[in-house]
Amino acid sequence: MSETETLLLGQVLDIHANPFEAPPEEAARHERRGAVLLRGSAIVETGPAEKLQKAHPRAQVIDHGDALILPGFVDSHAHYPQTAIIASWGKRLIDWLNSYTFPEEMRFGDPEYAAEIANRYLDLLLAHGTTSVASFCTIHPASVNAFFEAAAARNMAVAAGRTCMDRNAPDGLRDDAQSAYDESKALLERWHGRGRGIYAITPRFSPTSTPEQLEALGSLWSEHPDCPMQTHLSEQTDEVEWVRELYPCKRDYLDTYEAHGLLGPGAMFGHAIWLTDNERARLRASGAALIHCPTSNTFIGSGIFDTARAMGEGQIVGLATDTGGGSNFSMLHTMAAAYEIGQLAGAALHPAQLLWLATEGSARAMRAEGRIGTLRPGTDADLVVLDLASTPAIAQRVARAETIWEAVFPTIMMGDDRAIASVYIAGERYDALVPGGDGGGHSRKLHPLISDSLGL
Ligand code: GUN
Ligand code: ZN
């Protein structure tokens, strides 16, 4: 049986090479009037619209006009249970966890509440053009089940796992080494590889795990090495000092993971700001990924992550919101923050580099670049379509643009969910949800899942 062919027309920007390794302008191909050919759930080909239309006269055509077709955004570090406490005022990391995060996470033992937030969160992601995410859940298996079920209902490729903590957390949010192992294993067996789901082994961070718990999770990872492992590393200086006190025999923060089998390909370390040269060298050699969370690093006051330095060292780097320590669900906003932090660190990141980090960079960090994050033939058709003139402020700037980079950069810096004209998940279209209007003037039919969960 032949599968349906669909041709999406619009501007197409294919960043086919790593723009930190090749000159950014050479790493990308832009078609002013381009096309992406889909067959079923997969991308088959990209190229000039005229050529692809001639070659595929029977394909269904969806014309996005002047809008820009890109791979969907990939958020490689987030906490979906923190959706309802995003933008909570005035605390730094440890106080922020104790004041806002832990009380909210306590609520996720209730499967109904977990399902409500998981559905709300994934709809917010789609409305912001994010098609994949690696998310922490809470300690409760119900929070993991709710998240994978909500993702499966939208056919989204997500990675997620039960967040393990056996010390320095309140009653009701602590497990122990054995139960962390047992419950993580049961959830992994249930969800890993089911549909588009990936189970991520998830110790929260060394301050909330005993060495025994890290050891148990290291064993679980050695039994399932194709799973990613996600945690936090060296986010704030107070935290690094605390880890030194909690683990006096370890040479540094990274060693608290390394010594327990939690360093290697597929490890994703959120933040990774306050690293020694030696830690940087071991991270690089191990094939682990550093996840840059720029809105969180400014919002909670953590510090400056030097993206250009990390890429220059050959680190694997993903880009992420870190919802709700991060202050925005939007990967556009996150790219803007990465640009500004790059300026503070001494390097102006090119729009191709920002877009690459938000798509293939994050997909590589999740070891999923063969499936998501690019326009490569054979990968899943998870796409975002950007309106490059979504507000009067952006439109008046774009009117002066002479290159695609000048046309897309104002949307990176000033865009929000109004810039999302459409998203496609595995070839299926979900129109963007733009509160209060139809944004770029595209026809908008809300997917029933989106309208239901937001009560529209
Ligand atoms: N470190 C440990 N847990 C967290 C968390 O939930 N958010 C952030 N930003 N850092 C953490
Ligand atoms: Zn985090």
At 308-336, the pLDDT tens digits run: 999 999 999 999 999 999 999 999 999 99
Query: What homologous superfamily is domain 73-365 in, according to CATH?
Result: Metal-dependent hydrolases (3.20.20.140)
- The number of the ligand nearest the C-alpha atom of 207 reads 1
- Substitution site in 75, 77, 79 for ligand 1 pocket (most atoms within 8 Å of beta carbon): 79
Q: What's residue 404's pLDDT?
A: 98
Residue 36 has which token pair? 């992406």
C-alpha 264/C-alpha 286 separation (Å) is: 5
Q: Which of 256, 322, 323, 328 to mutate to test the pocket of ligand 1 (most atoms within 8 A of CB)?
A: 322
Cβ atoms 72, 424 nearer than 8 A: yes
| 5-72+375-453 has CATH 3.90.1300.10 classification | no
> Whose Cα sits closest to atom 9 in ligand 1?
325
CA angle 401, 407, 413 (to 5 degrees): 120
**Residues lining ligand 1, judged by CB closer than 6 Å?**
79, 93, 97, 101, 204-205, 232, 235, 296, 300, 322, 325
Instruction: Split the chain (456 residues) into runs of 10 and give each run's mean pLDDT.
Output: 88 98 96 98 98 98 98 99 97 96 98 98 97 98 98 98 98 97 98 98 98 98 98 98 98 98 98 98 98 98 98 98 98 98 98 98 97 98 98 98 98 98 96 44 43 48
Strand partners, 61: 7
**Cα–Cα distance between 369 and 362 in angstroms, integer?**
8
Each domain of the chain, given as residue ranges in start order, spans: 5-72+375-453, 73-365
At residue 430, the pLDDT reads: 87
> Which ligand 1 atom lies nearest to the CA of residue 302?
9
Beta bridge partners of 290: 269, 317
For residue 153, report the distance from its CA to the centre of ligand 2, in Å: 25
Neighbours of 403 (CB within 10 A): 11
Query: Which atom number of ligand 1 is nearest to the Cα of residue 235?
Result: 10
Position 441 scores a pLDDT of: 35
Helix, coil or strand: residue 147:
helix
Ligand 2 centroid–CA 307 distance in Å is: 18
CA distance 327 to 177: 32
Give the pLDDT of residue 452. 53
**Region of 133 on the Ramachandran plot (φ > 0 left; ψ -120 to 50 alpha; else beta):** beta
Query: What span, in angstroms and rounded, lies between the C-alpha atoms of 126 and 114?
Result: 18
Question: Within the chain, what is the greatest distance between any pair of CA atoms?
Answer: 68
pLDDT at site 438: 42
d(CA 430, CA 95): 39
Distance CA 4, CA 56 (A): 11
- Cα(213)–Cα(222) distance, rounded to whole angstroms? 14
Which of 123, 162, 167, 113 lies closest to 140 in space, CA to CA? 162
Name the residue with tokens 């690459």: 356
Give me 391's structure tokens.
Answer: 């507000």
- Write down the pLDDT at residue 93: 96
Report how far residue 40's alpha carbon sits from residue 121's, in angstroms, rounded to the nearest whole number.
27
Q: Quote the pLDDT of residue 440.
A: 40
Instruction: Answer whether 136's CB lies under 8 Å from 160's CB.
Output: yes
pLDDT at residue 432, as a whole number: 46
